């Protein structure tokens, strides 16, 4: 049994066949502070976010695509894997994605969390490579492909050819940072304190990276910073564009930096084929148009962009045998653990 795992900062996705995800839930876990007993994970834990008593803690145990709290990540992985692996007779092989620029210690932390369930093999693949596979791009040929995988914790930017990275860059300024900026903006400008879940909902509903529509509004609910009482108000898309402007600029500049470092031959391929956006943040209003304006290159958004990485991880399971035997130097998978 082969399992594809996208253990993201905001969402965890597991796939055991090529059609649909067996698991697609938030990477969040709730536990009792006193005895550390796990109370809920995924969707159930996300519903508890910001609504718990003082005895219960609800956290996202991954930050920037890497493990922040190893024990909680192991619990999260074990619970999700147990839902997929109903039989323990055959130990599964797992292909998991990682950000492009992480240390060996961070890699081993991810492998350790997955191995704690009891698996036969853990194979790693960079998120950008997996996203390219999942979006339908061919990275095994001598032809330049540019992928920008925009998630909650990281933005992975890569130019690939012949199964490897030619130029790549990973920044930890992504969707979660936008949520934080929205929280700060609303408190500073309107004196309203809102939570992360409310900020994320607002971002998904009306935030924009380019020209915003003033008529698009979202109703925020929170606590008045002066009186401490409940208050609701409406904000428009123009305000949200202003709130996330610095973050979108950082992302655009990082993409331009990668283009500037790309060899001319591969740059010609990218000019012809365009840039492919994947990840949940690729759906941000105006991001495609803003990037096209800044780079002069056609930009495409992959079908089902949020699922591209896990779909690519599953396609990469085809290379497991080669990776285990080290028969091919063009194998997109990394070290076998």
* CB-CB neighbours of 326 under 10 Å: 9
Question: Which residue shows structure tokens 């709130």?
Answer: 243
Instruction: State the Cα–Cα distance between residues 195 and 54, nearest whole angstrom.
Output: 16
pLDDT digit string (tens) for 146-187?
A: 999 999 999 999 999 998 899 999 999 999 999 999 999 999
pLDDT digit string (tens) for 228-268?
A: 999 999 999 999 999 999 999 999 999 999 999 999 999 99
Would you state the pLDDT for residue 88? 65
Q: Where in the chain is the domain with CATH 3.90.640.10?
A: 175-245
Q: Are strands 93-98 and 2-7 parallel, antiparallel or unpaired?
A: parallel
What number does CATH give the domain 2-130+310-325?
A: 3.30.420.40
What number does CATH give the domain 138-173+250-305?
A: 3.30.420.40
Query: Quick check: 51 pLDDT over 90?
Result: no
Note the helical H segments in the chain: 42-48, 70-84, 104-115, 127-135, 175-190, 196-206, 237-243, 245-261, 264-273, 287-295, 308-316, 320-325
The pair of three-digit structure tokens given for residue 53, joined into one six-digit string: 């008593």
Would you state the pLDDT for residue 1? 83
Would you state the pLDDT for residue 332? 78
Q: Where in the chain is the domain with CATH 3.30.420.40?
A: 2-130+310-325, 138-173+250-305
Q: What is the mean pLDDT of residues 40-64?
A: 91
Distance of CA 172 to the CA centre of its chain: 11
The model's pTM is 0.91
Would you state the pLDDT for residue 327? 61
The pair of three-digit structure tokens given for residue 168, joined into one six-digit string: 């790549």
Please give the class, per CATH, of domain 175-245: alpha beta
> Residue 44: how many CA atoms within 13 Å on its side-chain side?
10
Of 10, 2, 12, the C-alpha closest to 97 is 12
């Amino acid at each position: 049994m082969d399992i594809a795992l996208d253990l993201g900062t905001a969402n965890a996705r597991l796939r055991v066949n090529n059609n649909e995800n067996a698991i697609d839930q938030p990477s969040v876990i709730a536990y009792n502070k006193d005895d550390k007993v796990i109370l809920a994970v995924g969707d159930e834990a996300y519903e508890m976010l910001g609504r718990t008593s003082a005895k219960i803690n609800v956290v996202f145990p991954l930050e920037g695509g890497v493990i922040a709290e190893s024990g909680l990540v192991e619990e999260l992985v074990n619970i999700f894997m147990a839902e997929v692996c109903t039989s323990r007779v055959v130990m599964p092989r797992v292909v998991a994605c990682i950000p492009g620029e992480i240390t060996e210690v961070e890699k081993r932390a991810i492998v350790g969390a997955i191995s704690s369930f009891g698996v036969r093999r853990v194979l790693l693949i960079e998120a950008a490579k997996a996203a390219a596979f999942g979006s339908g791009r061919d990275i095994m040929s001598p032809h330049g492909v540019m992928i920008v995988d925009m998630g909650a914790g990281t933005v992975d930017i890569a130019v690939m050819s012949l199964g490897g990275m030619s130029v790549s860059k990973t920044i930890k300024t992504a969707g979660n940072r936008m949520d934080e900026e929205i929280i700060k903006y609303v408190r500073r400008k309107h004196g309203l304190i809102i939570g992360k879940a409310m900020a994320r909902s607002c971002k998904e509903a009306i935030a924009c990276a380019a020209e915003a529509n003033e008529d698009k509004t979202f109703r925020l609910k929170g606590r008045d910073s002066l009186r401490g009482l409940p208050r609701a108000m409406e904000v428009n898309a123009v305000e949200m564009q202003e709130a996330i402007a610095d973050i979108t600029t950082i992302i655009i500049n990082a993409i331009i930096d990668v283009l500037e470092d790309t060899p001319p031959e591969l740059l010609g391929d990218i000019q012809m084929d365009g840039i492919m956006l994947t990840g949940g943040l690729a759906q941000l209003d105006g991001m495609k148009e803003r990037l096209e304006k800044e780079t002069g290159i056609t930009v495409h958004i992959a079908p089902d962009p949020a699922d591209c990485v896990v779909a690519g991880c599953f396609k990469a399971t085809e290379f497991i045998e080669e990776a285990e035997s080290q028969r091919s130097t063009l194998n997109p998978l990394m070290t076998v653990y």
